[in-house]
Amino acid sequence: MRILTVGGGGREHAAVEALYRSGAEIYSVMKNANPGIMRRAKVYKLVDERQIDDICEFAIEHDVGWAFIGPEAPLEIGLVDALENIGVKCAAPTKAAARIETSKAFMRNIMSRYNIAGNLSFAAFKTANETEKYLMTLKTEIVVKPTGLTGGKGVKVQGEHLNCHEETMAYVREVLSGKGGEEGVIIEEKLVGEEFTQMIFVDGKRTVPMPLVQDHKRAYEGDIGPNTGGMGSYSDADHLLPFVPEEERNKALGILRSIVDALNEEGCPYHGPMYGQFMLTKDGPKLIEINARFGDPEAMNVLPILASDFFAIIKEMATGKLKEDAVRFDNLATVCKYVVPVGYGTESESGHEIFVDEERIRECGAEIFYANVSEKDGKLYTGASRSVGIVGIGETIEEAEQVCEAALTFVEGESICVRHDIGKRDVIQKKIDRLKNLLS
């Protein structure tokens, strides 16, 4: 059975490996020559993931019946609508349903209109004057976000990135002058707590949860620095997190299920993986954002321990036939650390050669997922985004972290760096203690 995969990052490589394990025949489009995807694909084509016509042509040429779409950019411009029109069934949302990610204002308004728990105070503006007037009325700290897509990098937090009113207004003006597209800027209440990711499979109506994951968005160790797409992530063997009890997890799942129901009511049912990013606060889980796809790196945590047939799940999501009790994940912990180019998060140094000793990495018991690298004449070069994800797997987070670190010694290059603190025992203990203090 043939499937089209769209995207050339670490998330897509992890999805392609899971599809390959399911016996799918893979046809891939991506903009970079990702060697992990290239080797699993029967046919691949290097094409920008927003070239809808080229992608549809490729799907017709190779007579593919199904599609998996990794990144958000093609969802925003209606790739799913176009593929469904030519008879390709997609485990990904239509342009209308993808608005839960592509328009933060749409997502927050849905939550308000349907009275969904976990919302926070926010307001969206199109001019600096209106924004400033609103800011003057607030007594609590805020977060500034462009309304549209920014690859996770456009969010600035008061007290961290923004330290006075002038800095806040300067950033508001920067966003309004282009970063947020036409829609403008969102001012949100700043949440205090610990972040976690809950992803679910959705078939239009039914949902199946995946293990919880914690990503690390800040560029530097100690969770400081600019926001990035995510520097690395971990998950635990019981599919919860050391600081998230089952009761709080269930509240997060309830929020996501209400969003799925609301999208049905709105006439745009959601198919595909859905990603909820939450902050566990003293008032329970609050929603930071929804993504209309797998998280990256989070997909690299959950897909390697998916014990069920991924291609079957894709087909069930696309056709409304998800079996709620049939999806199994192994009870193993995972730690993923991304090797990124120096400067990632601000200005990346790209185009450097990177050396990956796959055999030694596998001997350590780790998985390797190629991301924004390109193969040329047998050599591998970094792009501006994240380069290679290394995933350690073990009985405990500690064991998985050690496997990951051992494997990372076999990735070398001149201009690369890694957040080594991700998944370390003392770092996680600090998070548990901090949350305990907050909740007491």
Q: Strands of 270-281's sheet, edge to edge? A: 207-209, 194-204, 270-281, 284-291
Q: How many residues does the chain have?
A: 440
Phi, psi (deg, nearest 5) at residue 2: -95, 140
Strand pairing partners for 188?
Answer: 122, 143
Q: How far is the CB of 351 from ligand AMP (least distance, A)?
A: 27
Q: How far is the CB of 202 from ligand GLY (least distance, A)?
A: 17
195, interface contact from ligand AMP, ligand GLY, none, CB < 5-8 Å by kind: ligand AMP
Question: How far is 69 from 91, CA to CA, in rounded Å?
Answer: 7
298, interface contact from ligand GLY, ligand AMP, none, CB < 5-8 Å by kind: ligand GLY
Which of these ranges, 46-54, 150-158, 293-301, 344-352, lies near ligand AMP under the rule CB under 6 A?
150-158
Phi, psi (deg, nearest 5) at residue 14: -65, -40
- The β-bridge relationship of strands 2-6 and 25-30 is parallel
143, interface contact from ligand GLY, ligand AMP, none, CB < 5-8 Å by kind: ligand AMP
CB 402 within 8 A of CB 392: yes
* Cβ nearer to ligand AMP, comparing 18 with 219: 219
* Cβ nearer to ligand AMP, comparing 10 with 204: 10
405, interface contact from ligand AMP, ligand GLY, none, CB < 5-8 Å by kind: none
Q: Is the dihedral of CA 395, 399, 405, 409 positive or negative?
A: negative
Q: What is the CA radius of gyration of the chain?
A: 21
Q: Does 227 bind ligand AMP (CB under 6 A)?
A: yes
Measured between alpha carbons, how far apart are the two ends of the chain, in Å? 54
CB 383 within 8 A of CB 373: yes
- The pair of three-digit structure tokens given for residue 352, joined into one six-digit string: 């450097």
Binders of ligand AMP among residues 401 to 430 (CB under 6 A) are none
262, interface contact from ligand GLY, ligand AMP, none, CB < 5-8 Å by kind: none
* Cβ nearer to ligand AMP, comparing 199 with 368: 199
Q: How far is the CB of 155 from ligand GLY (least distance, A)?
A: 11
157, interface contact from ligand GLY, ligand AMP, none, CB < 5-8 Å by kind: ligand AMP
148, interface contact from ligand AMP, ligand GLY, none, CB < 5-8 Å by kind: none
* Cβ nearer to ligand GLY, comparing 229 with 269: 229
Question: How far is 280 from 217, CA to CA, in rounded Å?
Answer: 16
Q: Does 217 bind ligand AMP (CB under 6 A)?
A: yes
* Cβ nearer to ligand AMP, comparing 163 with 331: 163
How many Cα atoms within 13 Å fall on the side-chain side of residue 363? 6
Q: Does 155 bind ligand AMP (CB under 6 A)?
A: yes
Question: How far is 222 from 230, CA to CA, in rounded Å?
Answer: 14
Binders of ligand AMP among residues 288 to 327 (CB under 6 A) are 288-289
Q: Does 103 bind ligand AMP (CB under 6 A)?
A: no
Q: How far is the CB of 414 from ligand GLY (least distance, A)?
A: 27
Q: How far is the CB of 292 from ligand GLY (least distance, A)?
A: 10
Q: Does 190 bind ligand AMP (CB under 6 A)?
A: yes
Taking Cα atoms as reference points, which of 425, 427, 407, 422 lies closest to residue 213?
Answer: 422
Question: How far is 366 from 374, CA to CA, in rounded Å?
Answer: 22
- The pair of three-digit structure tokens given for residue 73, joined into one six-digit string: 């950019």
Strand pairing partners for 396?
Answer: none
Q: Does 198 bind ligand AMP (CB under 6 A)?
A: no
Where along the sequence are the contacts to ligand GLY (CB under 6 A)?
Answer: 152, 215, 229-230, 291, 295-296, 298
Binding site for ligand AMP (CB under 6 A): 120, 143, 152, 155, 157, 188-191, 195, 217, 227, 277, 288-289
